[in-house]
Each structure stands twice: as structure tokens, then as C-alpha cells.
Chain A
Amino acid sequence: MMEAAPDIVIDVAGLTKTFGARTVVKDLTLQVRRGQIYGFLGPNGSGKTTTIRMLCGLLTPDGGAGTCLGYDIRTQSHLIKRRVGYMTQRFSLYQDLSIRENLEFVGRVFGLEDPRAAAREAIDRLGLGGRENQLAGELSGGWKQRLALGACILPRPDLLLLDEPTAGVDPKARRDFWNEIHDLSAQGLTVLVSTHYMDEAERCHEIAYIAYGELLAHGPVDEVVRAAGLQTWRVSGEDLHSLAAALTHLPGLELVAPFGASLHVGGRDHAAVEAAIAPWRNDPRYVWRADEPTLEDVFIDLMSRKRDNFRDTAS
């Protein structure tokens, strides 16, 4: 068994999980350092939830091995569970229990010295004072999510696993949530968070992009963007719609996407991109400007190429 360095919190290699004939996670290798906020990105059904569940012992990997907080994910999941806070995608606290009762339940299960005091403290920290006797099922989406996070950090875990914690939450609540995550990380807590939002990805120290069960890119955001090697142009002008239609299937252009009043056009092979757009470069209707690729450009490109490969190997 590999020994994780003390500052590596998650260290897994070759993780594989199949459900029937479907391989949901394929040969995934991941390292997360202590105190980091690690973003986990990928389209729906790409294996993010399955990976998180394997890390906290809810699923047994079919292949691969590794450690979480220094414990073997295959044989020591009961030890991992004591030090991990797992926030599920779907609200999974008891809807028919009040805020206080839910928190006290968590406190008792984790064997805290004084669950009542811990629950009271969490209620104050969450700003839920005066509402502690409200049933959890009656809370709005944003408050449910805050409560769920509060319950996760109540036992003072070393690692937080958050599965799409901000899905369906308004922007203000999302921002507050991320501020809280950063505070926790500053206190030394490691956070692995899956998300669909690019702005959230950009608030992570490092990200990993996973599609069709495979890890396609990982590292700090700017590194991932740089490594993608995309050359992009931003076109503005009139009738961008017909321009987009004309550009879409040209060789060399891997990315043609409307962004509000402009169009993003780009590809990996710089010469090919230049050649493809040459007929419209001097068209007076359009203004062309070289642009930095965004993270979203990179992901869409990664995903479409992955899908093409997937199709090629399948056919």
C-alpha cells in the first residue's frame, strides 16, 4: 500500500468503478494537498459523484487503490468517516427534524462531548438563531444548503467532500457559501467540491476536469487554460449568427460559440485557425480581436474532443 505524504490528503491511483457494463470512472488518479480547495468539474454523468462516494467509503472501487487522510479507502473507511464531512447532492438531513435536532443528531453520532452546545454554536455561526426549532424540510433551498454545510463541519472534520453544493442556489447565497469555504480552507480544512459553474471553478486553488469517467485535465486554473493551447478570437459585429453557421464546420476550428454580443472562435492549431478565418478577417462587418481563452472555452473543447474520441473508439 502506498503511503501518502502527510500533506497529501487525498491520494488515489487507477480508481475504476463499473455499474453493470458501464464504466463510470476509469483509471482515475488524483492528489489533493492539505488546505486546498480542489474543484471537481465535468458534465452530468461524468463520474464526479461516484468518485466522491469512493473516497468516503460509500462505494467500493472495482480497481485502483489509494488513501484518504492517510487511511486506505478500501479497508479503513470507518476511520475515514470519522474525519470527513460529506455533503450530498440531494439534501439528506431529516426533513421532519428541526434544525437543532438535526445538528444534535450529527453531534451525537460523531460522539462530540457536548452535542447540544456544538449545535447551539453552529446555529449561531450559520445565522439561524431564533429559527432553530423550524423543521429542516420547511427551509428554502439556500438555507437548506447552509444547514447541510453546518452539519458537515459540526464534527470538525479534516476533509470536506461537497457534491454540487450550490446547485439551485441564488447568486448571493452562492457567494456567501464560497466565502465560508475559503474561511474554512484558511483554517486548514481541505475541500473537494464538485460544480458546474465556471466562476466557482475559478475560485478553487486547483481543478480537475473529468468527462466520461476519465480525468482530462488538472492543475491550477491558469495552468489548465495554458496547457489547453487554444488560440481564440473574439468577433463582434452584425449578423454574427450567419458567420457562426459558416464557421462551425470549418477544419481547424474546434470552438465556435456565441457569447452575448460576440462570438468566440478558436482552435489548437494556430495556423489552421488563421487559415479558416482568413476569408472574413477583412470583412468590414466584423471586428476581430485576439483573446485569451476562458476556462469554459477549454472545457467545451476538452469535452467535444473527448466525445469524438469516444465515438471513434466506439464505432
Chain B
Amino acid sequence: MSLIPARARGALSRIYAMLMKEFIQLRRDRITLATMITVPLMQLFLFGFAINTTPRDLPTAVLLQENTDVGRSILAALRNTAFFDIRKVATSEAEVESLLRSGSVLFVIEIPAGFERALRRGETPAMLVSADATDPVAAGSALGALEGVVQSALSRDRVTGVAPPAPPTFEIRQHRRFNPAGSSQLNIVPGLLGTILTMTMLIFTALSVTREVERGTMESLLAMPIRPLEIMLGKIAPYVVVGFLQATLIVSAGVFVFGVPMLGNLALLAGLTTLFIAANLSIGYTFSTLAQNQLQAVQMAMMFFLPNILLSGFMFPFAGMPLWARGIGECLPLTHYIRIVRGIMLKGADLADLQHDGLWLVGLMLVAMTIAVRRFRQTLD
């Protein structure tokens, strides 16, 4: 009657049994269910709205050692940019030093005495900028903006009365591709999709086997005719659906709330996202077969999560890392997924562009599954 051989039908029936059981348990676990929806949304909005690596309104003090037109016009120009928030116009070195040291300001712009005179003479006087570089990211982009601000202030002011400075012999044209405005959200939202999925998927399956052991249900389960591979597939499958819903939620919020473009093929993104979810679930499940209890499993998941955050290119540029760190990074699913998401959403990449990263995900998933099935303790020995 059926085309499926009896053996395979038995296996499918067992996987289905496991899958249904997990779905029902998941449905009854209100807290986990709530976590699945709120954690991604919360992270997305926190990261998306609160974090910006192109900072604005940096607290700044100006040390004005002469009261001249040039000084005032530079001050006005600084006030006009969104980068700096002039908190204090100081008159002594000691005052700005203490402001900087206490963290009240991140920048001190010093216009020395005789600045205007030197400028009118055609000399090149120095303007000292001290930045609190304990946060290099914040300092960097503001410093980059400073020169332009002062330059345009001076030319508008025409204080020099001489011809505008000779144009440099060459100029660099920046072409910010795929993210012309340099918006952080465009970088963070796709990265966040992978990060949130990694975290939630790891935890869900990391708990799945240890929970059965701790609740005492493992003994019955092991005494039944079900194989480790069937248990694993049955336990992973429901969370693929959950992960897919989370991904849909995050991508929708990214596109509609944060205006992240969707240049590539949505179906391709969906397919590779499913693969990424399955890879993380397999890794979490592997931890679950190695851990003695739920706490250990969560700790393992966290240990794995940390390099994912740091070495995947989510937080820091991948290309800037030393070779060994990039080597570790290549072995993390998140590294490849971030490339995939940025590629599809921001650059319109197709499968041919992403096949390398896709194959890595398949490989990592299979390695994790093999370890899990081999490590699964079929007896209570």
C-alpha cells in the first residue's frame, strides 16, 4: 500500500512522537514561550535604537585662550554640528584637564592665544584637540569630522582675507557602498538576527536532554525502542519552527522599523536561515548530551556564545583580527550567517556568492549532529 518501507515508517512514527511531545511541552511552558518572543524584540530594540557607533552630542569643552572673531566662529560651527555638545567654554588649562579626567567631557578643543593673528599672517597655527580615547570608537568618528567643521567655519568667515587655501593636489572620494549613510542600524540589525538566533536556539536544545535526565523521564525513554538519532531529530524539529518565527519577527522589524533594505532574495534568506537555525540547534543538543545537568548545559552554551559575539564580526570587524582569531571565527556558524544576512539584505547577494558560507553551515551542523548521536548515552551506565 504505502511506498515507504516499514523500517522507515517506524522511524518516522517515532520522530513524529518525539516532535509532538516537544511541541506540547513547549506550548505548556509559558515562560519559555514568552522568552522566545520578548528576548528577540527587546534585544532588537535595545541594539537598534540605543546603540550607535557614529555617536552624536559628545560632551565637549572648548578652551578659548583669546576672544576673537575666529574663535567665536569656530565655536559656533562646532555648536552647529550634531557631533559635539559644547558643555563648557573654559579659560584655563587646569579647568579642562579636570573636566576630561572626571569624564564630564570627552573632548577638549583648545584655541591657543594668538591663533587669529597667526592665521592672518598666513602661518599654520595649531589647534589642539584632546580626546578621551578610552572609547576609541566614539573618539574616532568625531575626530574625523572635526577637521571639516573647522575648515568650513574658517572659509565662511573669510578671516584670512587671502585666497582660499590652495586645493590639495589630489582628493580622496569616499564611496560608502551598501550603506551610504554609514548607518549603524544597517550593520547591527542583520548581525543581531544571527546573535539572537544563536542565543535562543543554543539554550533551547542545550536543556532538552538534561531536562529529561533530571526529571527522571530519560529512564523510560531509554527503555523504549527509539534510537538516538530519532530522539535528536524529534527534539530539534519543533525549534526550527520557533527559530524561523523569531527570524521572521526580527527581519520584519528590521525592514519596517529600522529601514534595513532587503535587496536580495527573501526565499534564499529563509532557506539559509533555516540551515543556520538547525546548525545552532545541533550544537546546543550536543552540549545537552555532554552535560551532566541543566546548569552545566547552560554554562557550555554561554561559553560557546561568547566567541560567537566577539569573533564573528558582529561586534568587531572580522578582517582586523589576527589569523588565529579568524580561524576560530570561521568555525562559528554566526560568522558565516552574518556574512549571509549582510550579503542578502544589504548587497543583494545570490546563492553563488554565498555558497562558501552555506557549505560551512552544513558542515558545522553535520559535525555537531555526529558528535551528539555518538555521545548520546543509550544506557544508564
Contact = CB atoms under 8 A, between A and B. Distances in A.
Contact of B25 (A59, A96, A108, A109): A96
A178 interface: no
A82 B14 CA distance: 12
Interface string A89-108: 01111111100010011111
B225 A58 contact: no
B13 A111 contact: yes
Contacts of A108: 13-14, 16-17, 20
From DSSP, what is the main secondary structure of chain B's interface residues? helix
Interface in A58-107: 58-60, 78, 81-82, 84, 86, 88, 90-97, 101, 104-107
Given A59-B380, A92-B217, A81 B24 contact: no
Given A56-B223, A81-B225, A97 B215 contact: no
A53 interface: yes
B379 A111 contact: no
Interface in B218-269: 218-220, 222-227
B28 interface: yes
A53 B225 contact: no
Contacts of B223: 56-58, 81, 84, 86, 88
B171 interface: no
A110 interface: yes
A96 B28 contact: yes
Most buried by A among B21, B217, B223: B223
A84 B24 CA distance: 26
B135 interface: no
B216 interface: yes
Contact of B219 (A58, A82, A106): A58
Given A96-B25, A96-B29, A109-B225, A60 B14 contact: no
Contacts of A86: 220, 223
A222 to B, nearest CB: 34
B226 A109 contact: yes
Contacts of A106: 224
Contact of A101 (B16, B24, B217): B24
B21 A97 contact: yes
Contact of A94 (B217, B219, B227, B379): B217
Given A60-B379, A96-B25, A96-B29, A105 B220 contact: no
B123 interface: no
Interface in A109-149: 109-111, 115
Interface residues of B, number: 28
A104 B227 CA distance: 18
B381 interface: yes
A90 B225 CA distance: 20
A81 B226 CA distance: 9
A106 B16 CA distance: 11
Contacts of B14: 108-109, 111
B217 A58 contact: no
A93 B220 contact: yes
Interface string A148-184: 0000000000000000000000000000000000000
Contacts of A95: 215
Contacts of A59: 379-381
Contacts of A93: 217, 220
Nearest to B19: A108
B229 to A, nearest CB: 13
Interface string A39-68: 000000000000001001111100000000
Interface string B1-39: 000000001100110111011001100110000000000
B264 to A, nearest CB: 40
Contacts of B224: 81, 106, 109-110
Interface string B65-83: 0000000000000000000
Contacts of A104: 17, 20
Nearest to B231: A109
Contacts of B226: 109
Most buried by B among A60, A94, A101, A109: A109
A83 to B, nearest CB: 9
Interface in B360-381: 379-381
Interface of A: 53, 56-60, 78, 81-82, 84, 86, 88, 90-97, 101, 104-111, 115
Complex A-B, nearest 4 residue pairs according to Cβ-Cβ distance, in ascending order: A108-B17, A92-B220, A86-B223, A81-B225
